[in-house]
Structure 1
Amino acid sequence: MTKFNIKQKYILILLSIITVILLNLIFYFGFFRLDFTKGKIYSLSKPSKKLVSSLDEPVYIRAVFSKVLPEQFKFIRLYVEDLLKEYRQNSRGKIKFEFIDPLQPNPKLSQQEVESMGILPIEFSVVEKDKFEVKRGYMGLALLYKDKKEVIPVISNIEMLEYDITSAIKRLTMKQKKVLGVVNVHRCDTLSADDYTEFKEQIQKLYDIKQVDISSTSLNQTDALLVVSPKENFDDKELFFLDQYILSGKPCAFLIDRYNINIQSFWATKIYSNIFDFISNYGVEFFTDGLVVDYQCQKVSLRTQQGFFVMENIVDYPFMPVITTLNKDHPLTKNISQVVLPFVSPLKIKPGLKDISYTILMETSKYSFLKKEVFSINPLTIDFRPDKSAQKGPFIVAVELKGKFTSYFSDDEKFNKLQINVPDRLKESKTDFSRILVFSSGFFTQKEFTLLGNIIDYLLQEYEFVSIRSKKVVPSAIKAVPDIIKILYRYFIMFSLPAVVVLVGILRWYFRKTKVVVL
């Protein structure tokens, strides 16, 4: 080897070492991540970046994590560190964080100080010296801004971690909470059942939720209104105040069932309420009868008694359509891949709307049809085949209407019957931006909390939280396939392999025969 080659070899080694050192320094002090997931679920969303970039004062985040954690929790610490680095990078230095382990010798914060902040210890089992031991650890965050504090006591769900952190920063920096009114008359669903407990805990961190009687002054103390599944008639005075609320420019969402569903007895009773006629005044009508049957649907588990045995059946339930046709340009639905709307009825846009625009948010699949005169809804006994006269889908099941609405009581004679004195009565919308949301199911609110949360965020114009909450790994729905296609696939798979074997045998026989003839 020549002297020149030896020198060149050492130069290459030196350059390689320098390159490795420089790359390590770049990756240590700099930060970037590549996210190839659909919806960028592991990257900081634009609304979070916008929020932290507008901070006027620093937000200090204390990440309290124990170094000794079970293997299944160690990746959470790495994920939290990466996420906090991304917050810091987009905050122009206003987000500052540090990791603290109160279980280490001479910690910056003691266990007592950490727990007084609201970060709770967790207990877990580990194997040491061939025996199980119960140990304590910490996985929580404390966010400090001026004289305010927000705490995430235990990080148990990284899927919602960005939402939790961003909403905590929002709470720290907001001056006043907005108020959501939930109508509590005429057997409306008031979101007060046990099923809503966890959901309401999250929502109430950002907004005040207030049950309102729409005939009282409490209605005017809200920023948006939610009307869920009324089952009785409203009196005219209540409808008047609701009408004036909409015309004043405050947003309102109607999540309305056409049938009252008793899921225990599998029985449906048609709802007769003047709320349907009231909503039609603003541009959208409910079909007078029937529920949507959709073969693209949710499966349900049912137990039946057969003699001494209890049998569990998993069956398709076409009265629970899986909606995959969602408006991808609308902030409320663009990040949702699918949603289940149980016991839904079709909506129809009224023709000839003036000064009102509408946006279709959701539609059923092309495999849907309208089933009229519904009473029993038992999936084991009902015939889900369409009649020849059945109206075929897809059907509109959710819509937004915007514009300059005309009052439901614009007719003076109709208004005078109310016998109330309202000096500043509105006959049409104050602005061109009055808006209402109409969903032809209220039953979904018991399970589809992402959609319900998006509706609330959208009504209160906190659009950033709509996109953050919807960042989830949701499996795409399998499209419904006609029975004839399934049969063809089945027979193709059944006979294709034997056919290939026979074909190979024939070809081999043919070539061997040809070879013999040539010889």
Structure 2
Amino acid sequence: MQPDRVLTRVARKELQLFFASPVAWLFLASFMATCLFVFFWVEAFFARNIADVRPLFEWMPLLLIFLSAALTMRSWSEERRSGTLEHVLTLPVPLWQFVIGKFIACAIILALALAATLLLPLTVNSIATLDWGPVFAGYLAAFLLGCSYLAVGLFVSSRTDNAIVSLMGSVAVCGILYLLGSDLLLGFFGGNTAEVLRLLGSGSRFESITRGVIDLRDLYYYLAVTAAFVALNIYALERGRWSVQSSARHRAWRLGISLTVMNLILGGLWLQKFPDLRADVTQGKLYSLSQPSETLLSQLEEPLLIRGYFSERSHPLLAPLVPQLRDLLREYAVVGKGNVRVEFVDPAKDGAAEKEANEEYNIQATPFQVADRYQSALVSAYFNVLVQYGDENEVLGFSDFIEVKTGLGGDPEVLLRNPEFDITRAVRDVLYRYRSGGELFDQITKPVTLRAYISSDSRLPELLVDYRDTIRAEAEALIPKSQNKFAIDFIEPEANGGTEADRILDEWGFQPMVTALGDENQFYFYLTLEDDHQVIQLPTGGFDPADFEDALEAGLRRFASGFTRTVALALPASSEGQYGRPPQGHSFGTLQQVISQDHSIVMEDLADGSVDASADLLIVMAPEALDEQSLFAMDQYFMRGGTVIIVSSPHSIETMGTELRLRDVDSGLAEWLLHQGISIQKTVILDDRHSTFPLPVVRKVGAYEFRDMQFVDYPYLLDIRDDGLNPEHPITQGLPNLTVGWASPLTVDLQPGITSQTLLSSSDDAWLSEANNVMPSLDDAGQSSFSGIGKNRLRANIGVALQGEFTSYFDQVPQAPSASDQAPDAEVEAPSSTLLSKSPASTRLIVVSSNDFASDQVLSGIIAASGTQYFGPLEFLMNAVDWSLEDSSLMNIRSRAHFNRTLPALPQQTQASIEYGNYAAALVFLLVVYGLWRLLRRRREAQLRVVLA
């Protein structure tokens, strides 16, 4: 008999016996019901608010233990109990064919059971954008894990004639394999012991694959376990053919099986030397070093040290994160190709290492409260990473790496936020600091020219003649130090009939200056820095020679990489709100903290009429009642080529106790924005695609009204995702979704020489409202008072980016608030403030039409509603800063965190429909399988009748 026919007949017989029993259908139904119950109830899919199917796979290692044990409990034990095993043993057919045939049949049933759960990822994908990479990896891991459990179950079944004993034995052995790598057991160990146990555990290997990383070592583990127990199964049956007396054949079998199992173990140990044999199948390669990180590591000229300080005993929630960080750090060593040395130290076991960490790097142990069955105690543990390059170093702590989510029942869930971003940022900082060594021109790659458009001595006031000579001397002193990357060019605009004056007026808007109003003596005094990509103007201020050195250095830093950039941040001043008190919700402490991680911050007061000369970029958040001096300061900074990011709208949210209203806001920017081609309407956008927000709700019960705090599906809180985010623009292409509250629609009327790109927009199901009452209320049926029924639906733009040659809003320099502030001899000593009428072509303007974008109040409300930290607006603004400063080294990493794919807000009725729809679909799936089995059975019976006839 041919081996393939034996395998086919055995597998077919096992499948027929399985489906002929009603227990089989009850079993499949129970498995599907359990998966659905775990997904929707135990893990609370909708409350969890993450667009993935991890809850299903987190429980799969446990569910598969019982599934596999139930499938295999009767396979050999029933054969042994009924006496048919003796018939099998006497057949002149190798026993491995029977073992493999039964295994194939069980694997087909396993695949069918897993296929039944495909309804869940399809459901998630229909609601939100699902990353299918971890899903495919999860099903691969589930199938391989199930196969290894099936091999265990078949082996245990072959050793007994009692199906119940086989069930219990299989559950015990599979349970031990699972517990070896579980946190329950690893909590008693630490360091290398825990690492070894994690490698032996079936569950820990499973978690690695379900993240979306298919590692050859993990695949081999499951294949090795399967092969080992299949070999033991064959050996156990083969022994039934032997006589009592030992023989050379028996010894050969024992030796062969022993060598097989030993080689499988040695193969696994050998593969541990190849950590790079893996494939990251997640969208965006979340668990592999990104291209910016690889590019940065390729610039290393000396060894880079990355040392992880991890204590053997730590907080139970932090301990599982250590292996993930270890894997990531090893990835840096692999990509670094010998230039990156990675070390792991437990300071508690090395006194010298702990002393060095404490004294040289100021790394201190953090006390954590831990508890077990017997006591509660404080444990001082290390969870730090040191990045050192030359004599420069940076230390990262657990607060830099982790994110704490609120799990089911309020229990905290600790995750790694985005460790690659923090580590790569540290590598970049130490590398640039070491390479620069204080030398600015080391980080400038293209030659920069200082062009001074200055009139002749006969036209210049005496003060400016001295100022010109001073700056010429300082600029010439830089040339020998510049490595041929700096040059100066003094140009007299009036020469050659004023052709140069006409050119700079046309290209840059540089107009003649005067010493005082009414003075007929005109002259030029403008300074620019230029390379082949951009042009910026240096501020001259009060023409003080002491200020020129700082202004020149700040300008040159705009052309350099690796230096800390300065962001000028203008926040709203305290003003009275609608109820006679300062408006609430306009604090931006989180934004300041995030900006300060990568850049220096200057808190800008625009009312003084100028922007700090060191500012590389200006951000204006929720401005209110900007006066003419403030507008002039922003306008002239803009005309000098500085990028301006404006977050503003005609409305702002305000709270008074439990009352929530929109307050009308006069930003003072409307006319200036309109001059630049941007108009923000005095309406508010509502959208069917929105988020949940904690709000006081008016609940009506008969003639009574009650006010409760509830999580409300709030149309004013726009959930921007998919086509609402520009996939082509660097600022938004990496963002999975973004929440914008109380936004107003903006329109763009492009001026000549300016290009525009829409960054943010609502869905097509948005509508507008002019009402200031934004308090939600529920009727007796529990329906919200907000409804877009009957409204004109539209897509509204919320964020835009403009670039090009802008023109100044001002025709002349505005007068200072008080003439008494002017020095009595000002008209003699220095010219009045100059007016720039046109900006360089590289000038950028970014506008978001929401006063509450990135405010602390909105961020905290979204965090409370989603149960996870939310940094979408902050990521948007930081991407905008990096894009504006031509620094894209971290943009592609900032938004790579895997847990920020949130679900869109869904009404409770829709959630219930989705859940019950899955239950119904599962029942339909079972009916379809049953129908197919009946059809095949009838076809076989018909064929049998033909043969018998």
Q: What TM-score, normalized to structure 1?
A: 0.80
Aligned to 2:893: 468
Aligned to 1:399: 800
Aligned to 2:312: 67
- 1:231-250 paired onto structure 2 within 5 Å: 231-235=624-628, 237-250=629-642
Which of 285, 294, 308 in structure 2 is aligned with 1:40? 285
Aligned to 2:884: 459
| Inter-partner Cα distance in structure 1 for 2:356 and 2:306 | 15
Residue correspondences, number: 483
Aligned to 1:230: 623
Aligned to 2:731: 332
Relative to structure 1, the CA distance from residue 78 to residue 496 in structure 2 (aligned partners, 3 Å threshold; closer, same or farther) is: closer
**Counterpart AA for 1:452:** L
> For structure 1, which segment, 139-148 or 19-28, has the greater mean C-alpha deviation from structure 2 after superposition?
19-28
SS of aligned partner of 2:347? coil
Relative to structure 1, the CA distance from residue 303 to residue 186 in structure 2 (aligned partners, 3 Å threshold; closer, same or farther) is: closer
**Counterpart AA for 1:357:** T
Aligned to 1:76: 321
The answer to whether the aligner puts 1:445 opposite 2:690 as a matched pair is no
Aligned to 1:283: 677
> Following TM superposition, by how much is the alpha carbon of 1:311 offset from its aligned partner in structure 2, in angstroms?
3.8
Relative to structure 1, the CA distance from residue 425 to residue 10 in structure 2 (aligned partners, 3 Å threshold; closer, same or farther) is: farther
Aligned to 1:510: none
Which of 178, 183, 186 in structure 1 is aligned with 2:570? 183
- 1:370-449 paired onto structure 2 within 5 Å: 370-372=768-770, 374-380=771-777, 383-386=785-788, 391-409=792-810, 414-415=811-812, 418=815, 425-430=835-840, 432-446=841-855, 447=859, 448-449=873-874
> Following TM superposition, by how much is the alpha carbon of 1:342 offset from its aligned partner in structure 2, in angstroms?
0.6
> Following TM superposition, by how much is the alpha carbon of 1:303 offset from its aligned partner in structure 2, in angstroms?
4.2
Relative to structure 1, the CA distance from residue 134 to residue 332 in structure 2 (aligned partners, 3 Å threshold; closer, same or farther) is: same
Relative to structure 1, the CA distance from residue 130 to residue 457 in structure 2 (aligned partners, 3 Å threshold; closer, same or farther) is: same
| Inter-partner Cα distance in structure 1 for 2:296 and 2:257 | 47
Relative to structure 1, the CA distance from residue 62 to residue 349 in structure 2 (aligned partners, 3 Å threshold; closer, same or farther) is: same
SS of aligned partner of 1:203? helix
The answer to whether the aligner puts 1:317 opposite 2:714 as a matched pair is yes
Which of 687, 695, 707 in structure 2 is aligned with 1:294? 687
The answer to whether the aligner puts 1:255 opposite 2:657 as a matched pair is no
- Identity of counterpart residues, as a percentage? 22
- CA deviation map 1:388-435 (0-9, x unaligned): 6x55321000010011112223xxxx31665895676432222x2111
SS of aligned partner of 1:436? strand
The answer to whether the aligner puts 1:93 opposite 2:338 as a matched pair is yes
Query: Are the aligned partners of 1:31 and 1:85 in contact in 2 as well (CA < 8 Å)?
Result: no
| Inter-partner Cα distance in structure 2 for 1:321 and 1:308 | 28
> Following TM superposition, by how much is the alpha carbon of 1:185 offset from its aligned partner in structure 2, in angstroms?
6.3
> Following TM superposition, by how much is the alpha carbon of 1:488 offset from its aligned partner in structure 2, in angstroms?
9.9
| Inter-partner Cα distance in structure 2 for 1:272 and 1:290 | 13
- CA deviation map 1:476-515 (0-9, x unaligned): 433779x9x9999999999999999xxx9xxxxxxxxxxx
Q: Which has the higher contact order (CA 8 A, sep 6+)?
A: 1
Relative to structure 1, the CA distance from residue 219 to residue 495 in structure 2 (aligned partners, 3 Å threshold; closer, same or farther) is: closer
SS of aligned partner of 2:889? helix
Query: Any stretches of 5+ residues in structure 1 without a counterpart?
Result: 505-519
- CA deviation map 1:226-259 (0-9, x unaligned): 0111121321x43233222222222110111211
SS of aligned partner of 2:636? helix
The answer to whether the aligner puts 1:349 opposite 2:748 as a matched pair is yes
Relative to structure 1, the CA distance from residue 476 to residue 304 in structure 2 (aligned partners, 3 Å threshold; closer, same or farther) is: closer
SS of aligned partner of 1:144? strand
| Inter-partner Cα distance in structure 2 for 1:50 and 1:169 | 12
> Following TM superposition, by how much is the alpha carbon of 1:139 offset from its aligned partner in structure 2, in angstroms?
1.2
| Inter-partner Cα distance in structure 1 for 2:321 and 2:920 | 49
Query: Are the aligned partners of 2:661 and 2:772 in contact in 1 as well (CA < 8 Å)?
Result: yes
Cα RMSD for the two superposed structures:
4.2
Query: Any stretches of 5+ residues in structure 2 without a counterpart?
Result: 1-93, 95-247, 403-415, 434-562, 576-583, 779-783, 817-826, 860-872, 931-949
SS of aligned partner of 2:282? coil
Aligned to 1:511: none
- CA deviation map 1:174-220 (0-9, x unaligned): 353110001256659xxx99965455344323210101223455432
| Inter-partner Cα distance in structure 2 for 1:58 and 1:315 | 54
> Following TM superposition, by how much is the alpha carbon of 1:22 offset from its aligned partner in structure 2, in angstroms?
7.0
Query: Are the aligned partners of 2:308 and 2:386 in contact in 1 as well (CA < 8 Å)?
Result: yes
**Counterpart AA for 1:349:** V
Rg: which structure is higher? Answer: 2
> Following TM superposition, by how much is the alpha carbon of 1:52 offset from its aligned partner in structure 2, in angstroms?
1.8
Relative to structure 1, the CA distance from residue 170 to residue 40 in structure 2 (aligned partners, 3 Å threshold; closer, same or farther) is: same
Query: Are the aligned partners of 1:186 and 1:233 in contact in 2 as well (CA < 8 Å)?
Result: no
Aligned to 2:70: none
Which of 382, 393, 399 in structure 2 is aligned with 1:138? 382
Q: What TM-score, normalized to structure 2?
A: 0.46
| Inter-partner Cα distance in structure 1 for 2:922 and 2:269 | 54
SS of aligned partner of 2:837? coil
> Following TM superposition, by how much is the alpha carbon of 1:221 offset from its aligned partner in structure 2, in angstroms?
1.7
| Inter-partner Cα distance in structure 2 for 1:493 and 1:193 | 41
| Inter-partner Cα distance in structure 2 for 1:216 and 1:274 | 15
> For structure 1, which segment, 419-428 or 14-23, has the greater mean C-alpha deviation from structure 2 after superposition?
14-23
- Give 1 or 2: higher helix fraction: 2
